[in-house]
A and B are shown apart, each in its own frame.
Chain A
């Protein structure tokens, strides 16, 4: 069972606005020196985000976790999984914290990107929450939380 959380409240997180109509990161985490981050699929994610100017993000919005290794071609992100914003728009943060009805919020990794359902990142890597939407997010409203295991290298 992971004991830490991958959260937008962490000091390692940089929050930014997405570029509309383009898949771009909205939260980027730099793995701290000397540590290894392990992400395991199967847990429900907790997410809340408003559109720029207020209100929900459109239902066509897709979200995903992605990572980037040093010298990745064209600084491309490798997307691990992809999910819809619908369950996060429907449920308030309080309701999401309850474990019931979590199926649609469970993170499942793309087996081609992450064989075995478990991903290890070391301190030269970056992890991001990427968004593809026609609308820009309000960065101040973004909240994300997912279980994370932190080890010393």
Chain B
């Protein structure tokens, strides 16, 4: 391989589109809406690598109030928190910022909920949780501070569904669905466990033209639920459970390729189901 290899001779390479590459939008229940979007760089083409595993764990947020005198008072989680294989479990005393339940409160009184609740903070876990199958239904908190505190609780989304779609940029804003799974299916997938076949992989129908995402097109996550929201744009979501890992195969636009022509070709192909 020579040092001065031309860009258009470079072969495609595997790239993972992770949460840091997405822009997030707020969401209101009852409508299907784009909650995250990532754009293909203007000089690159993405192709869906069929069969490679996908990870999509979105985040929901709820707020409970812990009174100053509370000692081990159970707070019902609504929505419930799925006990996700690939995250630490609060039920086992793992109070990290990437556990399946993550709680923040305002310790200093400066108006921002930036203190992670553990078993030794002002608002603290008492160590008891209630479970129902694979879900945490309630968590006990104690309030040792001088005042009642609002606590933001982040959990993995269990309601609704999440769709991965590609979307054209510009005036003709057409989109095409690439893969859709229920939130529960996404949550309980496990890309790392060789013993389970709970992997979600890129669907085989995305081979060929359907799986081509040309320069400046968007890769979107579309969410829908009638009652529950996601909170991807909340302050601590990215630190909490949010995990997106979408493998694509990326190659530069070739010298004999015109990005506009490629976009038109793909867009015309997107009319079908």
Residues of A within 8 A of B85 (CB): 94
Beyond A5-B180, A94-B198, A152-B273, list 11 extra A-B contacts (CB 8 Å): A1-B204, A4-B180, A5-B181, A7-B182, A9-B225, A11-B226, A92-B133, A93-B134, A94-B134, A100-B197, A152-B272
Of the listed residues A9, A46, A50, A151, the one surrounded by the most CB atoms of chain B closer than 10 A to its CB is A9
- State A3–B205 Cα separation when bound (angstroms): 8
Asked if residues A93 and B133 are in contact (CB atoms below 8 Å), the reply is yes
- State A105–B181 Cα separation when bound (angstroms): 19
Query: Scoring B residues 234 to 256 as 1 if CB is less than 8 Å from chain A, else 0, what string do you get?
Result: 00000000000000000000000
B184 at interface by CB-CB < 8 Å: yes
Tell me the B7-57 residues at the A interface (CB within 8 Å): 32
Query: Scoring A residues 138 to 153 as 1 if CB is less than 8 Å from chain B, else 0, what string do you get?
Result: 0000010100001110
Residues of A within 8 A of B189 (CB): 97
Asked if residues A48 and B133 are in contact (CB atoms below 8 Å), the reply is yes
Chain B interface residues (CB < 8 Å from chain A): 32, 83, 85, 132-134, 159-161, 180-185, 188-189, 196-198, 203-205, 224-226, 272-273
Asked if residues B224 and A9 are in contact (CB atoms below 8 Å), the reply is yes
Question: Sorted from nearest, which 6 A-B pairs have the closest CB atoms?
Answer: A94-B188, A92-B133, A9-B161, A94-B134, A92-B134, A97-B198
A74 at interface by CB-CB < 8 Å: no
Complex: chain B residue closest to A143, CB-CB? B184
**Interface of chain B, helix or strand or loop or mixed?**
loop
Given contact pairs A5-B182, A11-B224, A99-B197, A93 touches B188 in the complex (Cβ within 8 A)? yes
Tell me the A63-107 residues at the B interface (CB within 8 Å): 92-94, 97-100
Complex: chain A residue closest to B133, CB-CB? A92
Q: Which bucket holds chain A's interface residue count?
A: 20 to 34
Given contact pairs A9-B225, A10-B161, A98-B197, A150 touches B273 in the complex (Cβ within 8 A)? yes
Tell me the A31-82 residues at the B interface (CB within 8 Å): 46, 48, 50
- State A48–B182 Cα separation when bound (angstroms): 13
- State A130–B63 Cα separation when bound (angstroms): 36
Complex: chain A residue closest to B193, CB-CB? A98
Residues of B within 8 A of A10 (CB): 161
Residues of A within 8 A of B198 (CB): 94, 97-98
Complex: chain B residue closest to A150, CB-CB? B273
Q: List 21 A-B contacts (CB under 8 A).
A: A1-B204, A4-B180, A5-B182, A5-B185, A7-B182, A9-B160, A9-B184, A11-B226, A46-B185, A50-B132, A92-B133, A92-B134, A93-B184, A93-B188, A97-B188, A98-B197, A98-B198, A143-B182, A143-B184, A145-B185, A152-B273
Complex: chain A residue closest to B198, CB-CB? A97
Asked if residues B134 and A145 are in contact (CB atoms below 8 Å), the reply is no
Asked if residues B203 and A3 are in contact (CB atoms below 8 Å), the reply is yes
Residues of B within 8 A of A9 (CB): 159-161, 182-184, 224-225
Residues of A within 8 A of B205 (CB): 3
Question: What's the nearest-Cβ distance from chain A to residue B174, in Å?
Answer: 15
